[in-house]
A and B are shown apart, each in its own frame.
Chain A
């Protein structure tokens, strides 16, 4: 066994290797619930990603549906866009039910 200590290095460039592509996993925990982001897995094909996602995120049995998406397929809003994208929605109170006054005691409102 070679006498390596922590901090020793091997050749400058390690051989090209792959831990496979990154996929994002979304799980649905119960009928009618929304799919939520659970985390990521590494995999090659979609079938492979589905199996890995199931083993990593669904083996505790509360999951009823799984989505897997290549990480590169996700388009995300940039934090710098957050103002223009999201703030205007915050002051449109007429979109919220609490804005409206209805007579007391009326059912179904």
Chain B
């Protein structure tokens, strides 16, 4: 991963506003005019991409018990993604199924945060990515479980139970790696330093968030930042790790501006489905 470190923040800890590419309001960004659809894509794509990344570990984990644990989390996330994308397709109203959305959109149409598309790296990178996401996910799902849209509320309520368990797993591994051996500590700290900048995007409220929240089925994500910081700080300290400083903060995933990693990941994921368009499996 080659994220550059351009510090354009105001030095007060507020995240820098560095966007890769055009701003959300340009015509070429491909943002639809249906905020609820956009909102559901964001939720679904986060889980699809992260679940896919975790599934890459299957058969290659450090120990058999972790092959099973990571597969478990991947299955939960892909299951949630499937339900969310199905709902998204219904909300869009153009007849696109969850598979049509998963397999026949290009990278620029995906709405996941950049954090989840980053390559797995070593086990520390995977765990730190998971932990940072899980802590946010629990907060999101707690709010979404009360969504006005009953289908979304139902999906969120079930997903919340899963997310709490995921957090239990990733937090325990944070501690085991951070407070394990000097090598595991070093790897965990490096992963945390590399991934921290990508968390800023999770807490930037934009128009899509505002409109979904106003309709009762979204979340003003900025309001989650303090709780999230408190809960991750606690675990990071228990893990004897250092909290990285805020500064460089890439963003753009929510509007289709991804890293180069997503395109390559989708080339793998979508290749077979796209080779046989219209086929059933």
Contact among A19, A48, A54 for B172, CB-based, below 8 A: A48
Alpha-carbon distance A42/B68, docked complex (angstroms):
12
Contact among A47, A55, A59 for B65, CB-based, below 8 A: A55
Q: In the complex, which residue of chain A has the Cβ closest to the Cβ of B168?
A: A51
Q: In the complex, which residue of chain B has the Cβ closest to the Cβ of A41?
A: B65
Q: Are A55 and B172 in contact (CB under 8 A)?
A: no
A46-63 at interface with B (beta carbon < 8 Å): 47-48, 51-52, 54-56, 59
**B63, CB-defined interface residue at 8 Å:** yes
User: What interface size band does chain A fall in?
Assistant: 10 to 19
Over the window 64-83 of chain A, the binary record of Cβ atoms lying under 8 Å from chain B Cβ atoms (1 yes, 0 no) is 00000000000000000000
Q: Are A56 and B68 in contact (CB under 8 A)?
A: yes
Q: In the complex, which residue of chain B has the Cβ closest to the Cβ of A20?
A: B63
Q: Are A51 and B63 in contact (CB under 8 A)?
A: no
Q: Are B63 and A55 in contact (CB under 8 A)?
A: no
Cβ contacts under 8 Å, A56 to chain B:
65, 68
Q: Are B172 and A42 in contact (CB under 8 A)?
A: no
Alpha-carbon distance A42/B69, docked complex (angstroms):
13
Q: Are A42 and B176 in contact (CB under 8 A)?
A: no
Alpha-carbon distance A44/B184, docked complex (angstroms):
16
**A38, CB-defined interface residue at 8 Å:** no
Q: Are B176 and A19 in contact (CB under 8 A)?
A: no
Cβ contacts under 8 Å, A48 to chain B:
172, 176
Cβ contacts under 8 Å, B65 to chain A:
20, 41-43, 52, 55-56
User: What interface size band does chain B fall in?
Assistant: 10 to 19
Q: In the complex, which residue of chain B has the Cβ closest to the Cβ of A19?
A: B63
Alpha-carbon distance A19/B61, docked complex (angstroms):
13
Min CB distance A99 to B, Å, is: 49
**From B65, B68, B72, B172, residue with most partner A Cβ within 10 Å:** B65
**B96, CB-defined interface residue at 8 Å:** no
Alpha-carbon distance A56/B72, docked complex (angstroms):
10
Cβ contacts under 8 Å, B69 to chain A:
51-52, 55
Cβ contacts under 8 Å, B68 to chain A:
52, 55-56, 59
Alpha-carbon distance A32/B58, docked complex (angstroms):
36
Cβ contacts under 8 Å, B169 to chain A:
51
B238-277 at interface with A (beta carbon < 8 Å): none
Q: Are A47 and B72 in contact (CB under 8 A)?
A: no
Q: Are A42 and B63 in contact (CB under 8 A)?
A: yes
B41-100 at interface with A (beta carbon < 8 Å): 63-65, 68-69, 72
Q: Are B176 and A55 in contact (CB under 8 A)?
A: no
Cβ contacts under 8 Å, B64 to chain A:
42
Q: In the complex, which residue of chain B has the Cβ closest to the Cβ of A56?
A: B68
Alpha-carbon distance A56/B69, docked complex (angstroms):
8
Min CB distance B29 to A, Å, is: 41
Alpha-carbon distance A97/B165, docked complex (angstroms):
47
Alpha-carbon distance A104/B165, docked complex (angstroms):
56
Q: In the complex, which residue of chain B has the Cβ closest to the Cβ of A43?
A: B65
Alpha-carbon distance A41/B67, docked complex (angstroms):
13
Cβ contacts under 8 Å, B176 to chain A:
44, 48
Residues of A within 8 A of B (CB): 19-20, 41-44, 47-48, 51-52, 54-56, 59
Known contacts A20-B63, A44-B176, A51-B168; 4 further A-B pairs (Cβ under 8 A): A42-B63, A48-B176, A56-B65, A59-B72
23 contacts between A and B (CB under 8 A): A19-B63, A41-B65, A42-B63, A42-B64, A42-B65, A43-B65, A44-B176, A47-B172, A48-B172, A48-B176, A51-B69, A51-B168, A51-B169, A51-B172, A52-B65, A52-B68, A52-B69, A54-B165, A55-B68, A55-B69, A55-B72, A56-B65, A59-B68
